[in-house]
Amino acid sequence: MSAAGSAAIIVPARNEAERIGACLTAARAAAEAAPVPTEIIVVADGCHDATATIAAAHGVTVLRTDVANASVARALGSACAAPEPDHGVWLAHTDADSLVPETWLVRQLEHAARGYDLVVGTVEVDDWTEWPAGLRERYLHLYESSLRRGIPHVHGANIGISAWAYHRLGGFPAIPIGEDRALVTAAEAAGLAVAYPTDPPVRTSGRRHARVIGGGFHTFLAHLADGLTAATAPTIPGGPHDLNQVV
């Protein structure tokens, strides 16, 4: 693909009043560092707090829905930013409990300029204090081991895709969890160019209680905290990508 001429940062959020402000401050810094005009879109999904109000105060586009489904929220934000399959539009996705680094979008766009259709990055946990002692070490061992073995990592908090590729793949599927993994799997199957950089990581929340029930990053941490071993971690359902399929 050719270099993007514009970009959008899309943030699904469900009852994230405590964190959305910091998330958007970080997203704004990344947008201002980018070499192209960048819109920030928050999709307030099933919120019963001040998430939407706080987001609006940050001067970003705010969409509202009540489906309580991250996949649908991501799709809604993507459709707002890029209603047509356009090679010149880049869609960068993160989460409302996460902080993107200032160079985050710049690096994604660099990959796009080199011909990549999809960029899938890493995350790091911001705080382990809510979890049992030893969980951080267990998690890092599994995560870093997977990266060393070249196993792709998939995180909704750190993913970017061209609008052309997004529309070609049919967008995010309307499933309860795992929409990010489904999109990446579809891109690989279609032969699109997928980059898996390990830098820069997005800092994501280490909170104990997840917004997504039944899967996702925090559920994986809960499995580890309950005594999940390295030997059993890869058997968690979700496909061939080892532990990264559930984070």
Q: What is the pLDDT of residues 47-106, one digit of tens each?
A: 999 999 999 999 999 999 999 999 999 999 999 999 999 889 999 999 999 999 999 999
The Cα 136–Cα 140 span in angstroms is 6
For domain 6-246, the CATH superfamily is: Spore Coat Polysaccharide Biosynthesis Protein SpsA; Chain A (3.90.550.10)
Reported as a pLDDT band with limits 50, 70 and 90, residue 119 is very high
Reported as a pLDDT band with limits 50, 70 and 90, residue 215 is low
Residue with the larger pLDDT of the pair 13 and 214: 13
Query: What pLDDT score does 127 carry?
Result: 85
Cα torsion angle, 3, 35, 76, 13, sign? positive
The Cα 176–Cα 41 span in angstroms is 21
The Cα 217–Cα 97 span in angstroms is 12
Q: What is the pLDDT of residues 145-192, one digit of tens each?
A: 888 887 878 999 999 999 999 999 999 999 998 999 999 999 999 999
Q: What pTM does this model have?
A: 0.87
Per domain, the residue ranges of the chain are 6-246
Reported as a pLDDT band with limits 50, 70 and 90, residue 212 is low
The Cα 179–Cα 70 span in angstroms is 8
